[in-house]
């Protein structure tokens, strides 16, 4: 696939996101689009955002839990980039009309305190983490009905659209067992998804180390000050205007989102 085509496809996913339009998956017309091309498209689409004034402030892992893999039919972990425009705080609004068909999912966020450069083990990766908090991620695939293959979702920046960070930030060493914290995500007071951080790639630290190792191949690192989402612990839920979503994570308190 030549550079002009990769550039064009970066424009296609970026325009769809900006114009809140769903589009058919890229591999329908470009069956030769592979995993490596897809990350090139993702980086090119991020460059377009940066050129418009957005700032990359972190990264996310996706498809690190069995529940998520089954839900979308893609069985391999992927990563995406997070920008300042995507970030919100506890209790903030999610403006439904800004998005196509948003889904929400329970996450854990790592706040990176020291430059994290792979190759690393999970323990080495955790040594670079200064804080952990609960997070709700809103994903909004640009593809019709969330129907995509692995290269499509990678090119589409892993469906990233918004994320909400909890206000309780704990240094990882004070947590009793980061690898098995209970997770309950409720919508309008009803528990919709119940799980454990154990579902995140068996341990969220493994997800973080895997991310550092994947990007090390591109000679990239997670700089101090960046945010990392470890991947959803459960399947995602569609949201609708008027919904109040709350995530509670053991030892990390709650994070809330109002859909308006």
| Residues in contact with Mg ion by the rule CB under 5 A | 137, 232
Q: Which of residues 94-133 bind ligand OOG (CB under 6 A)?
A: 105
Q: For ligand OOG, which residue of 42, 159, 197, 226 counts as binding (CB under 6 A)?
A: 159
Interface stretch with ligand OOG, choices 10-18, 48-56, 153-161, 178-186 (CB under 6 A): 153-161
The CA-CA-CA angle for residues 216, 222, 236, to 5°, reads 100
The alpha-helical segments, DSSP class H, found in the chain are: 3-19, 26-29, 35-51, 66-72, 122-126, 150-155, 204-216
Distance CA 160, CA 185 (A): 19
Task: Please state the closest distance from residue 96 (CB atom) to Mg ion, in A.
Answer: 19
Closest residue to ligand OOG in the complex (CB) = 62
197: Cβ–Cβ under 8 A, 6 or more apart, which residues? 108, 178, 179, 180, 181, 183, 203, 204, 230, 233, 249
Task: Please state the closest distance from residue 215 (CB atom) to ligand OOG, in A.
Answer: 16
Interface stretch with ligand OOG, choices 109-117, 151-159, 178-186, 206-214 (CB under 6 A): 151-159
Among residues 5 and 214, whose Cβ is nearest to ligand OOG?
214
Give the containing element (helix H, strand E) for 83. strand 78-83
> Does residue 139 bind ligand OOG (CB under 6 A)?
yes
Positions in the binding site for ligand OOG (CB under 6 A): 62-63, 68, 72, 105, 137, 139, 141, 146, 153, 158-159, 231-232
């Amino acid at each position: 696939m030549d550079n002009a085509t990769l550039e064009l496809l970066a424009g296609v996913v970026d325009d769809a996101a900006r114009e809140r339009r769903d589009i058919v998956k890229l591999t329908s017309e470009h069956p030769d689009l592979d995993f490596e091309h897809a990350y090139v498209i993702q980086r090119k689409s991020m460059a377009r955002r940066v050129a418009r004034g957005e700032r990359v402030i972190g990264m996310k892992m996706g498809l690190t839990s069995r529940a998520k893999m089954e839900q979308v039919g893609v069985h391999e972990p992927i990563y995406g980039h997070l920008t300042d425009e995507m970030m919100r705080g506890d209790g903030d609004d999610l403006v439904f009309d800004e998005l196509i068909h948003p889904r929400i999912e329970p996450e854990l966020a790592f706040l990176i305190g020291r430059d994290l450069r792979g190759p690393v083990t999970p323990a080495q990766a955790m040594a670079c983490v200064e804080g952990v908090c609960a997070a709700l991620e809103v994903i909004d695939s640009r593809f019709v009905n969330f129907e995509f293959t692995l290269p499509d979702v990678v090119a589409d920046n892993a469906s990233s659209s918004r994320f909400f960070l909890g206000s309780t930030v704990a240094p990882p060493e004070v947590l009793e067992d980061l690898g098995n914290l209970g997770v309950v995500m409720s919508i309008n007071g009803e528990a919709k998804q119940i799980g454990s951080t154990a579902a995140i790639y068996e341990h969220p630290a493994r997800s973080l180390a895997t991310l550092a190792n994947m990007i090390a191949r591109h000679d990239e690192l997670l700089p101090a000050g960046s945010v990392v989402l470890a991947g959803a612990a459960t399947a995602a839920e569609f949201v609708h205007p008027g919904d109040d979503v709350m995530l509670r994570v053991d030892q990390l308190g709650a994070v809330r989102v109002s859909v308006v």
